[in-house]
Structure 1
């Protein structure tokens, strides 16, 4: 057997000296751009704005739940955030990159249950809190922790102008359905006007009032260009006619 030869020096780790041909050409002093062009930058800014809207809306809902914000201030802020969210997604490029709310939340690890529910309904809690009694079980009610909270806002007087305005909104909806204008971006704003106008006339519940909110929620889940089917159009026409009769009945 041969004796193992003693090394004259301790072995050192293998060191790789890169070739000048493979040396990185990136200038470390140069700012790294997240977007290659203006369109990409605008897209990322829009997605960042949507992220901010969702987080802010969740915080607003928590503040309303704790009764730490006035109802008028909550309503105004919530309506503005919902409007900004809708307007941001009106751009097809942004909507395509956004996907849907659940996918966006998963991608950015967002835990915003209250904002999720408010975006699903598409209306401030103050708009529907007097309507919840007529909604089917399982439909979310107001954001307050309990119905024991008294409303601090004073209902607007039920003058002739408010009554006429509410009636005109109902008629506008019926005309839209009759003319086969069944897209979300046509019907949803009219339904919002209906529920807001009837609340200005009276804060009393009336028969089938909950149907208005039910259809608002249904339409809010649709994309702007989506349309109701012929069967849904008949149903919404029937339900809103019943709600209109209930509204007229409460005025008698």
Structure 2
């Protein structure tokens, strides 16, 4: 006797989405282990990790009603993936971005990184002023900004801008892709970006010293 796993199209789609979510978490765990073991290059790891993070956020957002808790989903399906959960739900950015080290610190490279950082600061602030406050709009902008700041060895991990942006990335990673910042959150993020930008510009003379 054939046993049906679903009774209608909607239920079938739900289980297929569950399978996709399960696969994304497992794939992220394997990717994290491959990176730690130096099986995959940093560039390939970062590209694949960014794709998995984006897929996870999009799917988790669409499954908000059926999967209100990712932790409960992981427990229900016996997923032992601590590295994946940290990357997808806590960090929200690839390890290469989170712990970026600069291979080349030439003045040309530093100048380019400074220009990129200024551009990302302005883009992020302008986007908020235009009321682009959805998580899937804000998160990539902050990730790009974090990556460009991380290319500058003169900026320590305690640099005000890096600390604030990292905190926001972590906060956004715990939200759904379609979620939106409240007016208060948007104003606070804009304030943090503005103060971080001013601190960044003030640090530039030191970087060139």
Whether the TM-score (by the shorter chain) exceeds 0.5 is yes
1:177 aligns with 2:128: yes
How many Å apart are 1:122 and its aligned residue? 0.9
| Helix, strand or coil at the partner of 2:64 | helix
Partners of 1:224 and 1:69 in 2: how far apart?
Answer: 28
> Residues 174 and 237 of structure 1 are in contact (CA less than 8 Å); yes or no, is this contact kept in structure 2?
yes
Alpha-carbon distance in 1 for matches of 2:39, 2:153: 23
Q: Which runs of 4+ in 1 moved over 6 A?
A: none
1:104 paired with 2:73, answer yes
Question: Kindly tell me: are residues 186 and 217 of structure 1, through their superposed partners in 2, closer, same or farther at Cα, counting changes over 3 Å?
Answer: same
Which of these residues, 224, 229, 240, is aligned with residue 177 of structure 2? 224
Q: What TM-score does the superposition give when structure 1 sets the normalisation length?
A: 0.67
Post-superposition offset of 1:194: 1.4
- Checking the alignment, whether the CA contact within 8 Å between 1:71 and 1:153 is kept in structure 2 is no
Per the alignment, in what secondary structure is the counterpart of residue 66 of structure 2?
helix
Per-residue deviation, residues 135-156 of structure 1 (Å, max 9, x unmatched): xxxxxxxxxxxxxxxx595579
Structure number with higher helix proportion:
2
Q: How many equivalent residue pairs?
A: 200
> C-alpha distance in 1, partners of 2:154/2:7?
56
**Aligned match of 1:126:** 96
Q: 2: distance between equivalents of 1:203 and 1:44?
A: 46
Question: Kindly tell me: are residues 32 and 58 of structure 1, through their superposed partners in 2, closer, same or farther at Cα, counting changes over 3 Å?
Answer: same
Q: Which residue of 1 aligns with 2:155?
A: 205
CA RMSD in angstroms comes to 2.8
Gapped regions of structure 2 (runs ≥ 5): none
What TM-score comes out, normalization by structure 2 length? Answer: 0.79
- Residues 132-184 of structure 1: per-residue CA shift (max 9 Å, x gap): xxxxxxxxxxxxxxxxxxx5955795376654443232112222333444332
Contact 1:184 1:223 in 2 (8 A): yes
Name the structure, 1 or 2, with higher relative contact order (CA <8 Å, separation 6+).
2
Distance (whole Å) between structure 1 residues aligned to residue 150 and residue 184 of structure 2: 29
In structure 2, which of residues 163, 167, 179 is the aligned counterpart of residue 214 of structure 1? 167
The SS at the match of 2:65 is helix
Structure 1: gaps of 5 or more residues: 1-27, 131-150
Aligned pair partner of 1:117 in 86, 95, 101: 86
> Aligned-pair distance for 1:75?
1.5
Q: Matches of 2:103 and 2:28 in 1, distance apart?
A: 21
Q: Which has the larger radius of gyration?
A: 1
